[in-house]
Structure 1
């Protein structure tokens, strides 16, 4: 874990302003600290020398003003940290979600979605500790410690040298503690993501577990994972408390060393009282920022770990080539204008493995075409390339249009229904400016889901519906987009996989109706009934891994 990752400045512009503000406030706070210590030493020396109170009011007033200014700067730094943290989290979360969209479903399919959700939620929220506690102290250390040590060297070289000799002990112990913290913090983070993933899987499969009487067994597993997370958390806390004690001990002994040296020289008359008091007051301030960095490192560790996971996603998204560019297009939503699709030498690779060999095909407008082939032959990969979900080589165009604008002409439903909490009508009309209830009813009918009440509630991920019902609602959503926006192309990936024979036949009737109306229907499937209903069949062979 690096205390500061330069990628933060690249992915969150607000972090730059935050660092500039922290630096400026650090300079002002350091100046106030030096002035406060000097004025306080003056007041104490005047009191010891019996200077009348009336003559000391000016110095006392200046001391009070500097103290008030220092308190105001501390408040301003805390306010700036909270504000900066909110802005950076917002920017990182936007970039994170945009990065996931750019990587596409193909990349997400091989990742733990619960872990990604934990990173985007709890993980980024943990950046509060990083920005409000750790990073301001890190900047303050870089500004204040050299200045205070330089002032001590100018006032008393012996005390300055003592601080210079003992000061590196704190970073040394911080590095050692950081190594120990890194492993236990990572273990705690893995335990949390495992708990989140397991709990999500349990919730999704709760109905099935109840049916087969296996729900009770999951309780012990969740308890075991939760206990593991508790153990890892206690390890982090134990190291945190021990490291705080070690840093405080080192700093206290270092300040004591300076105090003993100053005391002996005061007794011998080798050092003036004013200088001695000033140096003694400055000595703790030289160690304080560095001590706070070490103490606050543990509060920021969760945020640092989550930020690293975010940067992994953003780096991967930046590495994805973008063959599509936005360009002017003559197509406008509205009246349906039939359109065909042409694939020319399209290849798709996943992490060095070729999923689709050079693929050439022309899909005629207003026809129902089926991509057929065994599992692994690349049907879903071709659809993902058409939708811009995966990088590909070759050319894909819709009536000669190869720009990203061509994607506006496509309506799509994948193998995962991806339903949101709300009503069936809200899910079918998702993305539309308003819900056209008559069009929702027609879309459901074409998707062989006319028995579903469009006002029925739907939970997250289609909870409350069977698998086949959820898939048909997703198909109805794609059909709604076609009819509402006049999209000429409807793409479906295995739409009948969870349907019985009669329902499958009804859905195919609806798809044939859409094709007869001029919509180009492209279906990826290997089901015999779907192949029999097609106007054209494109058979794909499973690619041989070279």
Structure 2
């Protein structure tokens, strides 16, 4: 049994409103249940003991309470459905808005893949329908209604109330044990779903290339393998679901049987009257019903729980608003203060970068001073992009790493203009993409940034979703122009470009290298990662990661 994540309560006003309304509704439903049990037991006892309740004694009142109690319980069930559906819609809307904003702010971050974002924003958050529609209402009923029902049973017969108090905690113990097992298999299923989404998107994205090289058919086996893994994980979840459902039903049934046997023995012995015994017997199944429903709904809601936890982890790791979109600064951001000459630029000493628990760069010394263009080279997989990720706070790093004299990381991201390997363009004009982080900057800065990056398409050209409408090289140059525009508009003096010429022909690569060198001469420290000799030849200095030494 897992309660509502407190992070969701902090972030979502709709979640807090759901709990407040649910608590009041649960109290009303519990009161109606007690009234219904009292009225029903009173009518039955009256029929048995005197042939029918005396009208003068309030038979009409008892029947009225019975009808009102039954009606309120039915209306409460309908209200829970409406409240759960509305709550899920509002919470999903709030989370999606926050996630989209966060994904824009950290576009290009190495850990936020398209597949992860699509899975999380789509089927992941949609699974919250089961969480708010079935699991959470029963959890609120357990927390609010169960104590009321136990107290009512205790007031009628303290022995039965004591039995309920003793046996009731056994079910949460079973649920906790089952929940730990379920959490493991459900997390594995969620990871398999993400792998399936990622594999499918990778195949679709590279289908044209695969067809050109005659490798498309080989991907069928890969997709089949990932699908089988997801199917296997789903069956494990279902197996745990059925076993846990049987365990919880058995525990609840035995608990109710203990109460019934105790009452039956005392009725036969004449130690208690029939009215309180019948009242407790009617009430006992209702005591266990919410917690049994929690167990039944828990497994249906675990996908939503995993997705919400992944979403909240992503939101908690989001950079401060000042960090802006990759290579972009928010509107109105002040230019970084000009430090002492010896501290300006980017400096690393004995830098070690770790990705996924593995050290990919170790012992790197690197200096990029204002006024120079430095190329970071090395074989594929040598850690060039990881160095930039460490500078931006996207990867764990040890050693000394400073930007303008300040330890580098998420806090200094606003002092850097950068462009990743993937352009990450948005729907809109080329100019809108270039000035995305600084929409109020002088219009002439857009033209200058486009000229430095060598963009050969009109600034007014409108792009489709994800920047469609441009070739790979054109999209790459627009992304470079966006980073340059950010540096021009905010006065940022450290510029990082990850493989800015990987999709360019030699002539355009030479032109870009020359323009970046002139751009650096204006007092900016420009660091480019590249595996292309042409761009490296245009740099003032080259640092090869394989040797971690300057050449």
Asked if these proteins are the same fold (TM beyond 0.5), I'd say yes
**Structure 2: 5+ residue runs without aligned partners?**
324-328, 337-341
Q: Using a 3 Å threshold, how does the CA distance of structure 1 residues 404 and 172 change in structure 2: closer, same or farther?
A: closer
Gaps of 5+ in 1: 334-338
Aligned mates of 2:411, 2:182 — CA distance in 1: 49
2: CA distance, partners of 1:348 / 1:269: 84
Q: CA deviation at 1:510?
A: 3.6
Alpha-carbon separation, structure 2, partners of 1:85 and 1:181: 22
* SS of 2:53 mapped into structure 1: coil
Q: Are 1:213 and 2:214 counterparts?
A: yes
2-structure distance, mates of 1:125, 1:498: 38
Alpha-carbon distance in 1 for matches of 2:396, 2:187: 32
Give the Cα–Cα distance (whole angstroms) in 2 for the partners of residues 354 and 215 of structure 1: 32
2:156 aligns with 155
For residue 455 of structure 1, what is the aligned residue in structure 2? Answer: 461
CA–CA distance in 2 between the matches of 1:171 and 1:405? 44
SS at match of 2:454: coil
Instruction: Evaluate the alpha carbon distance shift between residue 272 and residue 291 of structure 1 in structure 2; reply closer, same or farther with a 3 A threshold.
Output: same
- Secondary structure of the structure 2 residue equivalent to 1:4: coil
Q: Please report the TM-score for the alignment, with normalisation by the length of structure 1.
A: 0.76
| Pair 1:273 & 2:277 matched | no
Q: Whole-Å Cα distance in 2 between the matches of residues 278 and 60 of structure 1?
A: 16
Give yes or no for the alignment of 1:56 onto 2:59: yes
* Residues 433-461 of structure 1, C-alpha deviations (whole Å, 9 max, x = no match): 3899987666445433416796364553x
The answer on 1:478 being equivalent to 2:483 is yes
Residue aligning to 1:33: 33
- The CA deviation string for residues 225-262 of structure 1, in whole angstroms up to 9 with x for no partner, is 33543454344345434543554455345445544554
2:418 to 412, 433, 450: 412
The question of whether the paired residues in 2 share the 8 Å contact of 1:458 and 1:465 is answered with no
- Who is 1:469 aligned against? 474
Greater Cα offset, 35-44 or 375-384: 375-384
Match of 2:345 in 1: 342
- The correspondence for 1:493, drawn from 488, 494, 498, is 498
Contact 1:118 1:193 in 2 (8 A): yes
Q: Pairwise mapping of residues 419-438 of structure 1 onto structure 2 (< 5 A)?
A: 419-421=425-427, 424-433=430-439
1:4 paired with 2:6, answer: no
Change (3 A) 1:533 1:170: closer
| 1:133-532 → structure 2 map (5 Å cutoff) | 133-160=134-161, 163=164, 167=168, 170-171=171-172, 173-175=174-176, 177-178=178-179, 181-241=182-242, 243-252=244-253, 254-256=255-257, 258-259=259-260, 262=263, 266=267, 270-310=271-311, 331=334, 341-343=344-346, 348-351=351-354, 353=359, 355=361, 357=363, 359=365, 361=367, 363-364=369-370, 367-375=371-379, 380=385, 383-384=388-389, 387=392, 389=394, 394=400, 396-398=402-404, 410-421=416-427, 424-433=430-439, 443-450=449-456, 455=461, 457-458=463-464, 460=466, 465-482=470-487, 490-512=495-517, 514=519, 521-525=526-530, 527-532=532-537
Q: What is the alpha-carbon distance in structure 2 between the residues aligned to residue 378 and residue 266 of structure 1?
A: 79
- Provide closer, same or farther for how the CA distance between residues 448 and 43 of structure 1 changes in structure 2, counting only shifts above 3 A: same
Distance 2:222 2:409 in 1: 50
Alpha carbons of structure 1 residues 254 and 300: separation in structure 2 relative to 1, 3 Å:
same
Deviations 1:389-447 (A, max 9, x none): 55766574559999999765643222222233555454344345389998766644543
Q: Does the 8 Å CA contact 2:498/2:528 hold for their aligned counterparts? A: yes
Aligned length: 525
State the match for 1:336 in structure 2: none
Partner secondary structure for residue 281 of structure 1: helix
Instruction: Give the match's secondary structure for 2:217.
Output: helix
Change (3 A) 1:470 1:314: closer
Give the distance between the partners of 2:217 and 2:228, measured in 1 at CA.
17
> Cα 1:122–1:61, aligned 2, differ >3 Å: closer, same or farther?
same
Please state whether the residue corresponding to 2:45 is helix, strand or coil.
helix
Question: How many angstroms apart in 1 are the aligned matches of 2:162 and 2:411?
Answer: 68
- The worse-fitting range, judged by mean Cα deviation, of 117-126 and 296-305 is 117-126
Counterpart Cα distance in 1 of 2:97 and 2:144: 32
CA distance in 1, matches of 2:91, 2:235: 29
Aligned residue number for residue 326 of structure 2: none
Measure the CA separation in 1 of the matches of 2:107 and 2:470. 26
- Find the aligned partners of 1:253 and 1:225 in 2 and give their Cα distance: 43
- SS of 2:124's equivalent in the other structure is helix
Moved more, 423-432 or 465-474: 423-432
Is this contact kept in 2: 1:488–1:519, CA < 8 A? Answer: yes
How far apart are the structure 2 equivalents of 1:46 and 1:386?
A: 81
Q: How big is each residue's C-alpha offset from its partner over 1:460-486, in whole Å with a ceiling of 9 and x where there is no partner?
A: 3x6665443332232233334455666
**1:279 CA displacement:** 1.3
Q: Structure 1 stretch 45-54 or stretch 296-305: which is displaced more?
A: 45-54
Secondary structure in 2 matching 1:3? coil
Offset at residue 16 of structure 1 (A): 5.9
| CA shift for structure 1 position 492 | 2.2
Give distance in 1, aligned partners of 2:443 and 2:223: 43
Q: 1:411 to 1:261 in 2, by over 3 A?
A: closer
Q: State the alpha-carbon separation in 1 of the partners of residues 105 and 445 from structure 2.
A: 31
Stretch of structure 1 that moved more, 379-388 or 217-226: 379-388
CA contact (8 A) 1:440 1:454 kept: no
Q: How far is 1:81 from its partner?
A: 4.3
In the alignment, the residues of structure 1 paired with residue 34 and residue 335 of structure 2 have an alpha-carbon distance, to the nearest angstrom, of 67
Task: Tell me the SS of whatever aligns to 2:496.
Answer: strand
Following TM superposition, by how much is the alpha carbon of 1:284 offset from its aligned partner in structure 2, in angstroms? 0.9
